[in-house]
Each structure stands twice: as structure tokens, then as C-alpha cells.
């Protein structure tokens, strides 16, 4: 009895790649470069199973990505803006947003435009991050004993030392970041 894994996969075709790209974009928002990477991985897997060279399909992948850009399903600037808003709401610093969008292949100019349009201040993002991670004023106990570790966690998240210190040393856990958090020496 033959199982599905015994059958060699069907050849890479334009139709198969179009369906694979459409299926991926139905489920996930994506940048052009990210879709290119996803399709390249799919082609590589299928080509290796068939004993073919995956490099032969790079022009086809470019054609599919260009077609989805033309249809409006891929827009790096819109993707960058939406992803920036989402990440900043979670409390990510501008540096971390740049890094995450860079990992997805978003061009630097699109990332820059998205960060310019973003209305979240770095202090608001820092307060949201600290609250989400229960750092500083949001810590229920051992606040002073964990102060340095909390500041270090904020700095690893991409926030500047002064902002991290001010956020962790802030007195009011109800401060949503609307007012500047001050540090009293």
C-alpha cells in the first residue's frame, strides 16, 4: 500500500505558486521580501524532493511577488505602518520595531516613514512595556531588590538608560505614559 509520503510531490508550477502565495496572504500580513522568502522555502522543499534545482524557479517567484504587488495584496509601506502601530501598542521601543520590521524584509525607508507617522512616544511605549512585563512600579514585591534587573530588561528591549531608569523608578503604577515619568533624586 502506498502512502502519501511515497508519492513524489508534483512539479513546481506557476499555478501552484500562485495558490501557495494566496493561501499565505489570506492568513498573514506580509512584506514583499517576506513573501519572497516563504515562496523560496516552499520551492526549495519541493525541488529537493523532486531532485531539481530550486534556483531555476527564482524568476517565477519574482513574477508571483510582482503580481501580488500589482494586485495590491502586498504593500510594504502599509504593512510597516500597521505592524508599527501594533508593536508600539505592545510597548516595543523604536529600535525593536526597526529590528522586527527589518527581519521581515521591510525596506528601511518604509520603516522610517511608519515610525514618523506613529504617535506613540518612547515614554508611553516604555510604560506599556514595563506594565506588560510587570517591571518597576507594576512589580508586586521586591521592587527595589530587582531594580537593576528591571532597568537592564528595559535596556535590552531597546530603551535608553535614562528612560528605562525613569520608568522603573516611577512612583505611580497607574501612569499610562500620558505624563512624563520623573525621577526624584
DSSP string, 161-176: HHHHHHHHH-S-TT--
Question: 97 is in which domain, residue-wise?
Answer: 76-117
Q: How many domains does the chain have?
A: 3
Residue 182 pLDDT class (50, 70, 90 cuts): very low
**Set of cell numbers at residue 26:** 489570506
pLDDT at 124: 93
* 31-41: average pLDDT: 95
Structural domain includes residue 127: yes
Does some domain include residue 44? yes
In a domain, 6, yes or no: no
Residue 25 forms part of a structural domain: yes
CB of 13 closer than 8 Å to CB of 47: no
Evaluate if residue 56 carries a pLDDT over 90.
no
Q: Which three cell numbers stand for residue 8?
A: 513524489
Q: Enter the C-alpha cell of residue 83.
A: 505592524
Whether 160 and 108 share a structural domain = no
Residues 55 and 83 in one domain: no
CA dihedral sign of residues 36, 53, 15, 27:
negative
**Model confidence at 129: pLDDT above 80:** yes
Note the pTM of the prediction, 2 decimals.
0.77
Residue 181 lies in a domain: no
The larger pLDDT score, comparing residue 105 to residue 142, is at: 105
DSSP 179: S
What's the mean pLDDT when you consider all of the chain? 87
105 within some domain: yes
Residues 34 and 56 placed together within one structural domain of the fold: yes
pLDDT digits (tens, 9 = 90+) for 58-71: 999 999 999 999 99
Contact in structure between 12 and 57 (CB atoms under 8 Å): yes
**Residue 16 counted as domain residue:** yes
Q: Give one word for 136, left, alpha or beta, with left for phi > 0 and alpha for psi -120 to 50.
A: left
Amino acid at each position: 500500500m502506498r502512502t502519501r509520503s511515497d508519492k513524489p510531490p508534483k512539479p513546481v508550477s506557476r499555478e501552484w505558486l500562485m495558490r501557495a502565495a494566496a493561501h499565505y496572504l489570506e492568513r498573514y500580513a506580509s512584506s514583499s521580501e517576506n513573501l519572497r522568502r516563504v515562496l523560496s522555502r516552499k520551492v526549495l522543499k519541493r525541488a529537493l524532493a523532486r531532485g531539481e534545482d530550486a534556483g531555476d524557479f527564482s524568476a517565477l517567484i519574482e513574477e508571483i511577488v510582482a503580481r501580488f504587488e500589482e494586485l495590491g495584496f502586498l504593500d510594504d509601506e502599509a504593512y510597516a505602518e500597521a505592524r508599527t502601530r501594533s508593536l508600539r501598542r505592545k510597548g516595543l521601543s523604536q529600535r525593536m520595531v526597526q529590528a522586527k520590521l527589518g527581519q521581515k524584509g521591510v525596506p528601511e525607508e518604509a520603516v522610517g516613514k511608519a515610525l514618523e507617522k506613529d504617535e506613540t512616544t518612547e515614554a508611553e511605549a516604555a510604560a506599556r512595556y514595563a506594565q506588560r512585563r510587570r517591571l518597576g512600579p507594576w512589580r508586586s514585591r521586591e521592587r527595589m531588590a530587582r531594580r537593576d534587573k528591571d532597568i537592564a530588561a528595559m535596556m535590552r528591549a531597546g530603551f535608553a538608560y535614562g528612560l528605562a531608569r525613569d520608568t522603573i523608578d516611577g512612583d505611580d503604577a497607574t501612569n499610562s505614559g500620558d505624563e512624563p515619568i520623573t525621577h526624584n533624586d
